Amino acid sequence: MTHAATTASPYELADEAAAVLRERTGIERHDVALVLGSGWLPAVDALGEATAEISTTDLPGFSAAAVAGHSGKIRSVRSGDKQLLVFLSRTHYYEGKGVAAVVHGVRTAARAGCRAIVLTNGCGGLKEHWTPGTPVLISDHINLTGRSPIEGAHFVDLTDLYSSRLRAMCREVEPSLEEGVYVQFPGPHYETPAEIGMVRAIGGHLAGMSTTLEAIAAREAGMEILGISLVTNLAAGMSGEPLNHDEVLEAGKAAASRMGVLLSQIVPRI
């Protein structure tokens, strides 16, 4: 069943969800969280041994997955000496459920003990040599939603939001990894070619519909953040072809083996 919204604060709701998570998984404390975005699900089995899997709707504050390619599950995975909390779906801003719902998984992970989080997504790339299936490290972001998950006079520093330490570690594992600035649009419609021109003009290299609000909430919670985009298509207007969600999922399937190996090598070192 889906847990209805309560009058509890977003932080209290995350505490409640983390308590149920401990009960359902039998794990007192998780170490690293991963949010697997569109196209990333086929990579999950490479992360390690699943010790528990539950539906997001079994936890307070979560709702059923609403986007194809997201399973609505949370998996507890053992990888070396790390206990991973893997979200196989996310709530997107364009679903209209509010910013608190978008970042509820991140806040729950923090309350469950995670000190670091890997945020992944499927997105459009603005560099022509980034063919579909190319992973790109997020070096910074531009949030075009006009929203923040933080309310009140709580001023959070976003310098080095996407950890330079973790990015350097990733390049030790895979020296060919490039970096880019991720730009989040509200969605759910894809960007226009003119908007992609704007992204290029303001210094963006990747365009998508997630991640930035979650990263801000993770920083507020004191987590170290690694962001990885899977380029699933050239951005609007670059290929001459219309964009669709099916190609996002297909690119993920095609890159599943490489993404799984990449994550399995990176995550135990975080």
User: Can you say which residues are annotated as belonging to the binding site for phosphate?
Assistant: 38, 70, 90-92, 122, 210
The active-site residue, picked from 191, 214, 220, 224, is 191
Cα torsion angle, 204, 209, 215, 217, sign:
positive
Asked if 141 and 212 count as a contact pair (C-beta separation under 8 A), the reply is yes
Is residue 194 within 8 Å of residue 124, measured between CB atoms? no
Is 191 an active-site residue? yes
Q: Which residues contact 42 (CB under 8 A, 6 or more apart)?
A: 252, 253, 256, 259, 260
What are the backbone angles phi and psi of residue 154, rounded to the nearest 5°?
-125, 95
**Residue list for the binding site for a purine D-ribonucleoside:** 191, 233
Measure CA 241 to chain center: 26
Count of positions (residues) in the chain: 270
Per DSSP, helices labelled H in the chain are: 10-25, 99-102, 104-111, 164-173, 193-201, 212-220, 245-254, 256-266
Question: Known binding site: residues?
Answer: 38, 70, 90-92, 122, 191, 210, 233
List the catalytic residues.
191
